[in-house]
Amino acid sequence: MTFAYVGPTVCYDLGQVGELDLLEHLDAAIVVPESVVEEITVEPARLNLDTFLDERSVITDVRSNPLDRAADALGLDRAGYEAALFSGLFDDDADDDIVVVSDDPRLRAIAAGLGAETIGSFGVVVGAAQADKYLTRAQAKRIVTRMDAVGLQMTGALRGRAVGEFSA
């Protein structure tokens, strides 16, 4: 089974524009650790995240032993969201595939180094557009533009590439 551990950057980016439902196109069990939820304090991202968690089947608890192992191995605070994002990679009792969903380059590099697949907000939108015949390229472009307008850290070159992905 595949588990997608979603970090605060993606919760914020998709939550600000009301598009957290796009996470359901990841073909994985969605994990939004409670420590990640606590990081989202800005509206409307918080309200949209709370609604998403209430209405969807999302895992918010992470197992204690893998959490401790991740924190110890990586020198992270056990109570922080970073250890929770990596906890699935330190679960010896499970043989699951792990995807770390984050826009933080440092966390993505660590996750990739530990053997996890990584994806960010833009990748979630692109994947949803490819998987969902009801989400058109034009709609996906508008989502990326709205995310950019509310603060997604996207360079001009990346934004041009993102919009170009939907034009092809």
Which tens digits make up the pLDDT trace of 88-111?
A: 999 988 788 999 999 999 999 999
Q: Which residue shows structure tokens 């380059």?
A: 105
Residue 154 confidence (pLDDT) above 60: no
- Section 1-28 average pLDDT: 96
Percent above pLDDT 90 for the chain: 74
Note whether residue 139 is domain-resident.
Answer: no
Note whether residue 154 is domain-resident.
Answer: no
Do residues 29 and 59 make contact, with C-beta atoms less than 8 angstroms apart? yes
Residue 149 confidence (pLDDT) above 90: no
Helix (H) or strand (E) holding 97: strand 97-101
Judged by DSSP in three states, 86 sits in helix
* 19 confidence band (pLDDT: 50, 70, 90): very high
> Position 28: which residue type?
A
* 150 confidence band (pLDDT: 50, 70, 90): confident
Note whether residue 152 is domain-resident.
Answer: no
Note whether residue 63 is domain-resident.
Answer: yes
Note whether residue 168 is domain-resident.
Answer: no
Note whether residue 144 is domain-resident.
Answer: no
Structural domain range at position 62: 2-132
Q: What is the CATH number of the domain that holds 51?
A: 3.40.50.1010
Alpha carbons 7 and 107: distance in angstroms, whole number? 9
Q: Kindly state the greatest CA–CA separation across the chain.
A: 46
Residue 24 confidence (pLDDT) above 80: yes
Note whether residue 25 is domain-resident.
Answer: yes
Asked whether the CA dihedral 41, 46, 50, 53 is positive or negative, the reply is: negative
Note whether residue 24 is domain-resident.
Answer: yes
Task: Count how many domains the chain has.
Answer: 1
Least-confidence region, from 24-38, 65-79, 147-161 = 147-161
Q: What is the mean pLDDT of the chain?
A: 90
- Section 18-38 average pLDDT: 97
